[in-house]
Amino acid sequence: MTRLFNDPASFADEMVEGFVASHARWVKRVPGGVTRNTVSTPDTAAVVIGGGSGHYPAFAGLVGQGLAHGAAMGNLFASPSAQQIYTVAKAADNGRGVLFGYGNYAGDVLHFDQAQERLRAEGIDCRSVAVTDDISSAPLTEHTKRRGIAGDLTVFKVAAAAAEAGYSLEAVAQVAGRANHRTRSFGVAFTGCTLPGAAQPLFTVPEGRMAVGMGIHGEPGIGETDTPTADELAELMVTKLLTEVPEGVDLQGSAPARVVPILNGLGSVKYEELFVVYRRVSQLLGEAGLRVIDPQVGELVTSFDMAGTSLTLFWVDDELESLWSAPCDAPAFRRGSVTAQVLSATPLAAGPDLEITVPDATPESKNAASQVLAALTAAESIVIANADELGRIDAVAGDGDHGIGMERGIRAAVGAAAAIVARGAGAGTTLHAAADAWADKAGGTSGALWGLALRAVGDAFGDEVKPDSTAVATGVAGAAAAIMQFGKAKPGDKTMVDVLVPFADALAEGARTQQPLAQAWGDAAVIAQQAADNTADLLPLMGRARPHAEKSLGTPDAGAVSLALIIQAVHTTFTLNASPKENP
């Protein structure tokens, strides 16, 4: 368990502060994460990596000369927000564009894509590579659905070395993609991990058993087996990985195929144990006729206190081997000799001006803004009251952080809404402020999607008129469309969409029949709750729960449940603030 913390909600921020204080020779803090504190080669592409905190040395430990130019750092096990990624990329840009590198998780994809679109709109060229090395998370025929685990390191290192060598952004992206294609990983765990302040681990493994194919965010394994000996574990991992030799690798050629093995500790397995396992890994790779290049044994991508390990095989060619072996100097990964000029100490960069201009609003819209704030406050209360249960539901087949993320997001949304209502904002501007705050502070998939949802409703409300049933129905329909377009989920995938779509349809019908908003919302809330309950019978087809689909049968989707709870909470504010014949 994690023992040393103050306020669990402040853990990630305090961790970054301490990391920067202890590694100022390499990094400096910027809004959203860290960048190099050394002089980079001008007019070269920049590599910006990122993901949730809790995986050190990924991601901040891989920032330095010859490695990443910056790392966007999300909260614990939650992707960084688009705003965090944007500000880190702006600080790291050397004038020749930015390559984003991250693990292939829904929240990371959503937020990095949003940041990429924003940077491109400002004239900064961007490319992305989502690492997909985990062979347990999807079959080879669906390799684009695989998640990124310890193979992050090979892709990030190759990309950064290519950028350092002066490759164009397009060429950096291409060689990073090839490194990803030639990287395969397989992992096991003996215990789950426990987040700061949590009473229980995100998953448990029975004594004497081992979880096979688990993720790095507390996702349970896809199966269990008896705990093997060190040699048996080595044989399991090598055998699994040798069944998937990447296309383009010739095992029958005149020269032996070359492979970089990475035996990664996930947090609690001691280095001595890893060395015992690697002893047999090395023997097996030699028996397979492979030439081992620069093996790595140690903690490179962790998961708090999880007791587990993973094996990565990186199949190199001449170019990939040269880039992998190129010198670098980062806090947690160093190769060869690097000469770097350390920048003078500088204060924390302020980042772009985030102060929201408050447009003029009518008295009717200002009154509606106060009611929006009341609705968000009611949502905050119900989310906080149910955060632990939402986490429990999410942990059945996912990573268990949904309650934490929802709590962070709604708290930020309420704070932003209260501040801007006090400045005389209308309903639309209030919702936009809440949307941006929710997405920024929550991170993760739910942060991105709730940001989209609130912004869509704000677009429909505007700052001029009092929203009626039609405006609300239009806004909720816009939220559903935005979430499905951006998140790619559809009804039946076991996500919040399974609640949002029938809820939007019911509101639209209420508006068509000219029902008062309180009545239309109340009727639709009943449908939403039933839809949330019905997700217990579905198998997840999206997100981190997808590889463990069968485990979630009988349990509703956490995102669907939280949405239904919020819908009900909002309805209570309608009945308090409006008579049956009035629209709030």
Helix axes 106-121, 469-487, angle to 10 degrees: 100
* Cα–Cα dist 160/158, whole Å: 6
Could you check whether the bond before residue 574 is cis, i.e. omega within 30 degrees of 0? no
- The sign of the CA dihedral 59, 33, 380, 518 is negative
Phi then psi for residue 435, to 5 deg, are -60, -50
d(CA 297, CA 270): 11
Two tokens at 280?
């047999």
Cα–Cα dist 510/528, whole Å: 14
Interstrand relation of 46-53 and 70-76 (parallel, antiparallel or unpaired): parallel
The active-site residue out of 111, 217, 548, 571 is: 217
Calculate the alpha carbon distances from 452 to 432, 439, 440 in Å.
Answer: 9, 8, 12
d(CA 388, CA 386): 6
Q: Are 312 and 261 in contact (CB under 8 A)?
A: yes
Give the sign of the dihedral formed by CA 395, CA 401, CA 402, CA 404.
positive
Measured over all CA atoms, what is the biggest interatomic distance in the chain, rounded to whole angstroms? Answer: 83
The helix/strand/coil state of 4 is: coil
CB 38, CB 64: distance < 8 Å:
yes
Cβ-contact 387, 558 below 8 angstroms = no
Look at residues 250, 92, 97 and name the one whose alpha carbon lies nearest to residue 169. Answer: 97
HSE toward the beta carbon, residue 146, CA cutoff 13 A: 26
What is the rounded CA–CA span in Å between residue 107 and residue 297? 29
Q: How far apart are CA 531 and CA 549, in angstroms?
A: 19
What 3-state DSSP class applies to 259? strand
The DSSP line for 209-253 is: EEEES--SSSPPPSEEEE---HHHHHHHHHHHHHT-PPTT--TTS
Rounded (10°) angle between helices 106-121 and 444-461: 50
Establish whether 217 is a catalytic residue.
yes
Q: What is the DSSP letter of 568?
A: H
Catalytic residues: 217
